[in-house]
Homo-oligomer: A and B are copies of this chain.
Amino acid sequence: MKVVSTSRSHGGIQGVYSHVSEVCACDMTFAVFVPPQAKDRPLPVVWYLSGLTCTHANVMDKGEYRRLASELGLVVVCPDTSPRGPDVPDEKDNWQFGCGAGFYLDATQEPYTKNYRMYSYIAEELPALVAANFPVDMSRQAIFGHSMGGHGALTIALQNPERFKSCSAFAPIVQPSTAGWSRPAFEKYLGPDEKSWRTYDATLLIEDGRRFAEFLVDQGTADGFLEEGLRPWLLEEACKKARIDLTLNMREGYDHSYNFISTFMDDHLRWHARRLG
């Protein structure tokens, strides 16, 4: 692991790190905020997964998580959203596929299988690296994210309920297998057999019997992607049927940007902190 940069912030250290990922077969970059309490004891970890077009940097710059993470004593890890590099297959003019659009799944179709393995990266490789290099208590983990990263948080929590004490999302893509901006990517990464898509779709995972104790979701009513891409009511319906406790807050006038995320960041961090103990 290489240190790209460190900078003191809100009493802790905001760092950026890179490493050679075996899973994604390329160099990967991620951000970790370590609050001051880390001097005294291992701390719980909150994973934040970002949305389409983002890197680790967007939430680091605009998410406004450090003040409260410092107060609550939370380590915050912000991974990248896809493999990257000159050897990674990409569609340069398509922001909904390839670099910046890994969709937190393991591709099964060529030429994507070698690099596009973001599910295994977030579920296995990066946690091992974080556990080995940071003052973290891996028995206390939470996960959240935004948009495509909200999809990532929900699906990874549903697939690994024993690993996470809590899961929340800002404006998540709750049913990517039927949304216009994610269907084509699912087909390219996973092939035409839609049965294989279900393990990467929060509502269909629930339909197929996966469970998680409770979810917190915030969604802006002025979000331009609400009706076509996000559709939180599909998650509401799935959770109701499965008796999963969902707190869905519709936020009047808020859009899809970090102005929305940063406004409700404190609520989500407090929600996770309560469940992390």
- CB–CB A61/B61 < 8 A: yes
**Most interface-central of A8, A222, A260 (chain B CB within 10 A):** A8
22 chain-A/chain-B pairs, Cβ below 8 angstroms = A7-B255, A7-B259, A7-B260, A8-B255, A8-B260, A8-B263, A9-B260, A9-B263, A10-B262, A10-B263, A11-B263, A61-B61, A62-B62, A64-B64, A64-B67, A64-B262, A66-B259, A66-B262, A66-B263, A67-B262, A67-B263, A67-B266
A263–B64 CA distance with the chains assembled, in angstroms: 10
Interface size on A, as a range, is 20 to 34
In chain A, positions 58-76 with a C-beta closer than 8 Å to chain B are 61-62, 64, 66-67
A-side interface residues toward B, CB under 8 Å? 7-11, 14, 61-62, 64, 66-67, 220, 222, 253-255, 257-260, 262-263, 266
Q: Please determine whether A259 and B62 come into contact, CB atoms closer than 8 angstroms.
A: no
* A258 cross-chain contacts in B, Cβ below 8 A: 61
User: B residues within 8 A CB of A259?
Assistant: 7-9, 14, 66
Minimum CB–CB distance for A122 against chain B, Å: 25
Copies of this chain, tallied across the complex: 2
Contacts beyond the supplied A8-B259, A11-B263, A61-B258: 6 A-B pairs with Cβ under 8 Å: A7-B255, A8-B253, A8-B255, A9-B260, A64-B67, A64-B262
Query: What residue of chain B has the Cβ atom nearest to residue A64's Cβ?
Result: B64
A220 — which chain B residues lie within 8 A by C-beta? 8
Q: CB < 8 Å: which of B7, B11, B257 contacts A7? A: B257
Distance (Å) between the CB of A11 and the closest chain B CB? 7
Give the CA-CA distance A8 to B257 in the complex, in Å. 9
- Residues of B contacting A67 with CB < 8 Å? 64, 262-263, 266
Q: Are A8 and B66 in contact (CB under 8 A)?
A: no
Contacts of A266 in B (CB 8 A): 67
